[in-house]
Structure 1
């Protein structure tokens, strides 16, 4: 049986605009639930591609037999469901603010790019302010076209707009082909495409999807400097129980440390001693004092697993501060092998051994 969701009530004011619903009326409904997701808009961004991918993945999972059985339980525990409505937001900060305020249930934002690295605004929003958690991730291959109004020739281009990461990825093409063109920064690649359509900009370095959305022509295709570039997008929501462990999960944390010798080593040791594979480590300024930093890390594993739970507990004791950013299924690749001493079975055996000692059953 296919579930259908109720339409979004009217009269909700926020910095996002409706762009479509999940399914129509007149179908059998397992349960009626409104789910609104924001994303970095306007329509035509790479983030829209990411949020559509996430919606498809969740919809497919919901249609499975297991998904049907768990749907009611997921709703009662704040679980994640496919969205009824996707809402473009005018910037990463506004998309995240809409989640924090309760205007939307979740927001899809870019986290890191294979060429330019992390998106600082997303990292800072996750670290400061009311807590949010990552519940899903996806990767989108990034391909840039040079988009213009119909009839515009390359020789006519005097200004090129894009997101800062977009400018960085097409810098070589623009420098070689349009050396005198002004580079104009926009909140998203699609916002630059909108500006081209409105006549305030000559060209945009944006996704082909944006060209189709706004009726623009591509005068040059695949102009990025690095072929095969990808961006990692995450889906954020207010704190709730994590998705169930899948055996191929990632946990993200923010760790604040004192500015003393060996503090970072101590953090890493808590993970290494439990056989946890660290897949990403990045420092960011504290925004309080020069020379003070916090660390964002991704590691293989799920908070429900004994090794990860014990590591998080230890980090909470040893660090100056700890923020849990979520445990969720990896979208690409497989988690590294778990050493025998770090397996769930090994932790269970160790717990049983200690229990036998306290019970006076030591051999």
Structure 2
């Protein structure tokens, strides 16, 4: 085996929603350890996660939440139903769109616009204002909308795409910054097989999926109390149907803190006692690196002292 072949075999593989030029690729570009490794483009979230579970990839980058449209249900459902996965990091990508066309296209000549329905909805105000008589042709993805122009499979005059498309394909930039919300951002997570969580940094997040034991008054409140009584803030709480019968839901939870924090560990044990199914998706550094603040009464020392006090009572100590 040549040195080149040996080097190729030692490269790590990362799956992402392709082809080149997607927001997912932009998220993967933020992962330091993924640089100079093999990036495997796939067609959907399920394929990306299956690559990880079945050993074709070391990790996969998937979109999990958008600041405009909320949680990505396909990703949340896949994480709930595919065993053997862990989130090991999160990354934020600003959602910025461009309008592109074939070489020589002019903006004033555009009346048919191709775009993924979500992207189109996030650019609708700009399109209505700039191209009031346009019509929309739905596309399977942002990249597919642009590729249809190049391969002739689309009748559109222009396509909505991520700015990265211009780095990979010869297209005319007709307009940039066409998104209606300049603060829009998509949150991505890097998913691997189960590993030891990275050590706590003080600016961490723990992701879980929790099922309620039964549908009864106060069941959701009882679940939330596992966090509230331990001073843990939730940055995400989303419900998704379990699918076995009407009215049954699981909850996707992002909680501020790390599994090695005493308050988080105590909350997870409380959830385990309460719920028939708790899926631990991982503890990892927050993308914004915002330090998690909490009252002194929820510090690790308080939990340790209370546990030591109880052990002392059991062993016959005065307990004062």
Structure-2-length-normalised TM-score: 0.91
Alpha-carbon displacement from aligned partner over 1:276-307 (angstroms, at most 9, x marks no partner): 11111111112222222111111111111211
**Structure 1 residue matching 2:251: 3-state secondary structure:** strand
Question: How far did 1:165 drift?
Answer: 2.3
User: 2:91 & 2:6 partners in 1: Cα distance?
Assistant: 26
**Structure 1 residue matching 2:47: 3-state secondary structure:** helix
Structure 1 gap segments, 5+ residues each: 10-32, 59-80
Of residues 5, 10, 13, the one that matches 1:36 is: 13
User: 2:37 & 2:63 partners in 1: Cα distance?
Assistant: 21
Alpha-carbon displacement from aligned partner over 1:234-262 (angstroms, at most 9, x marks no partner): 00111221111111100011111121111
User: 1:38 & 1:163 partners in 2: Cα distance?
Assistant: 21
Of residues 40, 50, 74, the one that matches 1:97 is: 50
Q: Which residue of 2 aligns with 1:235?
A: 190
**Structure 1 residue matching 2:227: 3-state secondary structure:** helix
2:256 is equivalent to residue 300 of structure 1: yes
Structure 2 gap segments, 5+ residues each: none
Matches within 5 A, 1:1-363: 7-9=7-9, 33-54=10-31, 56=32, 58=33, 84-176=37-129, 177=131, 179-186=133-140, 188-201=141-154, 202-257=157-212, 258-362=214-318, 363=320
Contact 1:300–1:335 at 8 Å: present in 2 too?
no
**Structure 2 residue matching 1:8: 3-state secondary structure:** helix
Question: How far did 1:6 drift?
Answer: 5.6
**Number of positions where the alignment pairs a residue of Structure 1 with one of Structure 2:** 312
Contact 1:159–1:184 at 8 Å: present in 2 too?
no
Contact 2:211–2:275 at 8 Å: present in 1 too?
yes
Aligned-residue CA RMSD in angstroms? 2.0
User: 2:142 & 2:184 partners in 1: Cα distance?
Assistant: 15
Question: How far did 1:334 drift?
Answer: 1.6
- Structure 1 stretches of 4+ moved >6 Å: none
Q: Structure 1 residues 7 and 192, CA, compared in 2 at 3 Å: closer, same or farther?
A: farther
Q: Structure 1 residues 139 and 252, CA, compared in 2 at 3 Å: closer, same or farther?
A: same
User: 1:352 & 1:279 partners in 2: Cα distance?
Assistant: 31
Question: How far did 1:199 drift?
Answer: 2.0
Question: How far did 1:155 drift?
Answer: 4.4
* Bigger mean CA offset, 246-255 vs 341-350: 341-350
User: 2:165 & 2:219 partners in 1: Cα distance?
Assistant: 46
* Bigger mean CA offset, 89-98 vs 43-52: 89-98
Contact 1:41–1:191 at 8 Å: present in 2 too?
no
**Structure 1 residue matching 2:137: 3-state secondary structure:** strand
